[in-house]
Amino acid sequence: MAKMMSKSAVMAHLAGKTNLSKRQIVEIFDETLALACKEAKNGFVLPGFGKLVLANRKARMGRNPQTGEPIKIPAKRVCKFRLAKSVKDAVLGKK
């Protein structure tokens, strides 16, 4: 299996594909990330890529895998990223 690209490899690739320097690409990437974190509570969309949303999980009963005893898992808020249909189709292939 191929190795996952590192951040520096991604930035170098994008810099090679555009007329921007690596430093400019990193600044754009960091600003996009900061904006996504700031706007996550309202939902953040990268058109054609996906959507960052917050979801509430209900409290539920679970099991300790070592002892098998039931435990209560509290309710919590989580971040989810939903891929756009076009990305899913490109990666997984159409059904």
26-50: per-residue pLDDT in tens? 999 999 999 999 998 899 999 999 9
* pLDDT of 67: 94
Phi, psi (degrees; rounded to nearest 5) at 8: -65, -35
Lowest mean pLDDT among 8-12, 53-57, 79-83, 91-95: 91-95
Local confidence band at 73 (pLDDT 50, 70, 90 cut-offs): very high
Q: In what order do the strands lie in the sheet with 50-57?
A: 44-46, 50-57, 76-83
Element (H, E) at 7: helix 7-17
